[in-house]
């Protein structure tokens, strides 16, 4: 996320110093979200014997991670506002939305809503950080939201068994891995098409859209092999990365609504 923010900000014309400040605010906000998630999910992760979680492995105490999450969240407030009050406020809303997911929404049918809001705010944050605080293209806001939804549904596919064991019942878990994969693929395809529209069919965007659509078509095939289910999330992130690169190459000035 920090790399995506920084690349688009620099391409859009934000100064190097301002982009670095934005990157710092983003990385601190992301740290707070990740640490809060691990702290709140410590019991679930132990029950599922998550080998990828330091708390579940007993390498660090729950309380230490919880304190770090709170400190990072508090520190992110001034860091975000230093970017500019409009961009900072939008970033804090995005971080707060992600915290709401960690605290409660991940276990409800509304688990997808923080992803729609937080990812959709990415172009808003970057655009309003520019001189004059312009608004971004609405098409890019929608594309960002689509990428968020795709990431959310794809991220649950490989963890279906663990989620069932620990009682996580977000919308992807309720509809199952097969349907979640199809939803993720569909939203990647829609985001790819929106990128083409936002860039006036610039060649890099067209190529990225083709890659995104092909990836979307291939993703459901991963369900045929249980060992490959974790790859679904990586495929979505790779498709988003390709779209970001294509947008930057096509011209970051397209971020702002004309």
The 3-class secondary structure across the chain, one letter per residue, is CHHHHHHHHHHHCCCHHHHHHHHHHHHHHHHHHHHHHHHHCHHHHHHCCCCCCCCCCCCCCHHHHHHHHHHHHHHHHHHHHHCCHHHHHHHHHHHHHHHHHHHCHHHCCCCCHHHHHHHHCHHHHHHHHCCCCCCECHHHHHHHHHHHHHHHHHHHHCCHHHHHHHCCCCHHHHHCHHHHHHHHHHHHHHHHHHHHHHCCCCHHHHHHHHHHHHHHHHHHHHHHCHHHCCHHHHHHHHHHHHHHHHHHHHHHHHHECC
At 87 the three-state DSSP class reads helix
Residue identified by tokens 């490989």 is: 158
The answer to which of 57-71, 82-96, 152-166 has the lowest mean pLDDT is 152-166
pLDDT at 29 over 90: yes
Radius of gyration of the chain (CA): 18
In the chain, % of residues over pLDDT 90: 65
Q: Confidence band (pLDDT; 50, 70, 90) for 161?
A: low
Question: What DSSP line would sit under 113-131, residue for residue?
Answer: HHHHHHHHTHHHHHHHHST
Stretch(es) of the chain classified as CATH 1.20.120: 137-258
| Residue 167 pLDDT exceeds 80 | no
The overall average pLDDT reported for the chain is 90
What does the pLDDT look like over 197-227, one tens digit per residue? 999 999 999 999 998 888 777 776 666 555 5
Q: What is the pLDDT of residues 98-155, one digit of tens each?
A: 999 999 999 899 999 999 999 999 999 999 999 999 999 999 999 999 999 998 998 8
- How large is the average pLDDT for residues 6-31? 95
pTM of the model: 0.91
pLDDT digits (tens, 9 = 90+) for 84-104: 999 999 999 999 999 999 999
Please tell me the predicted confidence (pLDDT) of residue 156: 82
137-258, what's its fold? 1.20.120
List C-alpha distances in Å: 194 to 127, 168, 232.
18, 32, 21
Identify the residue with better confidence: 3 or 234: 3
């Amino acid at each position: 996320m920090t790399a995506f923010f920084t690349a688009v900000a620099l391409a859009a014309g934000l100064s190097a110093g301002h982009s670095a400040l934005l990157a710092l605010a983003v990385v601190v906000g992301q740290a707070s979200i990740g640490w809060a998630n691990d702290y709140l999910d410590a019991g679930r992760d132990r029950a599922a014997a998550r080998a990828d979680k330091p708390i579940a492995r007993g390498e660090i105490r729950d309380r230490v991670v919880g304190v770090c999450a709170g400190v990072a969240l508090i520190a992110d407030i001034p860091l975000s506002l230093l970017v500019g009050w409009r961009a900072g406020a939008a970033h804090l809303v995005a971080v707060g939305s992600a915290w709401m997911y960690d605290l409660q929404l991940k276990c409800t049918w509304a688990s997808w809503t923080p992803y729609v809001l937080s990812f959709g705010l990415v172009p808003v944050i970057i655009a309003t950080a520019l001189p004059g605080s312009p608004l971004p293209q609405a098409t890019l806001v929608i594309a960002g939201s689509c990428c968020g939804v795709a990431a959310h549904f794809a991220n649950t596919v490989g963890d279906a068994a663990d989620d069932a064991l620990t009682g996580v019942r977000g919308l992807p878990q309720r509809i199952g891995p097969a349907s979640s994969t199809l939803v993720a693929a569909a939203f990647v395809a829609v985001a790819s098409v929106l990128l083409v529209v936002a860039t006036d069919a610039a060649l890099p965007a067209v190529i990225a859209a083709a890659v995104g659509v092909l990836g979307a078509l291939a993703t459901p095939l991963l369900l045929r092999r249980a060992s490959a289910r974790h790859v679904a999330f990586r495929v979505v992130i790779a498709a988003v990365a390709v779209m970001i690169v294509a947008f930057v190459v096509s011209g970051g000035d397209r971020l702002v609504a004309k």
